[in-house]
Amino acid sequence: MGRFDAIVVGAGPAGSIAARELARLGRRVVLLETKRFPRPKTCAGGISPWARSNLRRLGLWDRIAPETYEVRGIRLGAPSGRETQWIGAASAAVLIRSRFDHLLAQAAVEAGAELREDSSVVAIVTEHGHTVGVRLKNGVIIEAPWVVAANGAHGRLDSDPRPRRMLETCMAWFDDVAFTPHVVEMYFDAELAPHYGWLYPESDTRASIGICVDAKRLGGRSVRDVFGRFLKRHFAARLPGMGTESRWRGFPMSVTVDIRHHAPPGVLLAGEACRLVNPATGEGISYAIHSGSLAAKEVDTALRTGEEPAVTAARYERKLRLRSGLSLRAGDWFCRFGMPLVECSVRAGEISWLRRGFGQVSTC
């Protein structure tokens, strides 16, 4: 089939955005996905205001928006056990990841990228120290001078020597839980703080419930056991059946505060492959969209100028730091010092004149 200009590994948000933008720049690009669409993805599916802004900038929000469920408020629980609910204008959205990822992959194909499913990459192929392609699990080699690795935290196409900082999560979907439509619930309870448990509504009748906790804090405990206790504390009265453990899904996330790009020459890491996940919230979609778009631009520049891969990678790292470094550091600050702010936010909802002033705050 000939040589490609670029190979994108992984058709999550980072990979599909990278493939789409490369195709729109006139590059011949192949997008490789291990599974077949629509494939399941264990994720709450929250689309943050920044993610929505990035999708709008890329001309994709109008495609995504009709299938999302708007978020207009938050029910917030503090470590003390106090709770309050704030309602406002729509600022975020929820879309199940199997559908969200599929929509972005379709957009990449429509832009001219070639999508190959059931294509598991096992290694970068190099010659004389330069990337020349990738090797698939079936032994097939696909050739290209550039690779965008967007295959998640455990794709193993990076060369980062640093120990990983991990968050552990466990979640499930429920059709039989009562909740306020269009309101996300976040509980920074004592067993999880400074991380949290959540309820994300996907429709007026279906929601995901899960927890996110620092892996070091588990101390050998099972994240499933912690999730079970969380469900009993916060949802026992609203979940008569409570679900069964067979419906629970866990997934680890690799997070960072200090953005570093460690990859073979000719490879750019995007999304969680570059550890671009907020250490406080576990949110990664916005970083994936931005890094995928940026990686495409940098690869196009490298192909146009013929510059050395190390120059491209260094510039890419600088731009990632400039755009995402502050929010990642803010997430780390929140993990260290943010619980008093959560308590203050909840207590603010208990002040009668504030409730009257906003008209959209209720104590729980």
Quickly list DSSP for 257-313: SS------TTEEE-GGGGT-S-TTT---HHHHHHHHHHHHHHHHHHHHH---HHHHH
86-90, 176-180, 232-236: least confident range: 86-90
Report the half-sphere exposure of 21 (CA within 13 A, side-chain side): 27
Predicted confidence at residue 176, as pLDDT, reads: 81
Whether the per-residue pLDDT at 221 is higher than 60: the answer is yes
Least confident span in 29-43, 110-124, 228-242? 228-242
Q: Compare 227 and 364 and report the one with higher pLDDT.
A: 227
pLDDT band with cut points at 50, 70 and 90 for residue 316 = very high
Q: Which range, of 209-223, 236-250, 318-332, averages the lowest pLDDT?
A: 236-250
CATH for 6-43+97-161+256-336 (3.30.450.80, 3.50.50.60, 3.30.70.2740, 3.40.50.150): 3.50.50.60
Of 362 and 212, the one with more pLDDT = 212
How far apart CA 222 and CA 208 sit, in angstroms, is: 20
Asked if omega into 194 is within 30° of 0 (cis), the reply is yes
Going by C-alpha positions, the residue among 296, 291, 292, 300 that lies closest to residue 318 is 291
Model pLDDT, residue 155 = 76
What is the pLDDT, as a whole number, of residue 358?
43
Neighbours of 18 (CB within 10 A): 36
Q: Which H or E run contains 56? A: helix 49-57
CA distances, 195 to each of 50, 72, 213 (Å): 20, 22, 5
Q: Residue 238 and residue 175: Cα distance in Å, rounded?
A: 11
Q: Is pLDDT at 74 greater than 60 in this prediction?
A: yes
Could you read off the pLDDT of 46-65 as tens digits, one per residue? Answer: 999 999 999 999 999 999 99
Mean pLDDT of the chain: 91
What pLDDT, on the 0 to 100 scale, is given for residue 87? Answer: 82
Q: Is the pLDDT score of 218 beyond 50? A: yes
Per-residue pLDDT tens over the stretch 266-315: 999 999 999 999 999 999 999 999 999 999 999 999 999 999 999 999 99
DSSP 8-state code for residue 176: S
What pLDDT band is residue 242 in, cutting at 50, 70 and 90? low
What number of CA atoms fall less than 13 Å from residue 76's CA on the CB side?
A: 20
Question: Is the pTM above the cut of 0.85?
Answer: yes
The average pLDDT across 27-52 equals 94
Quick one: pLDDT at residue 353?
Answer: 46
Q: Which tops the pLDDT comparison, 88 or 135?
A: 135
Tell whether the model's pLDDT for residue 356 goes beyond 60: no
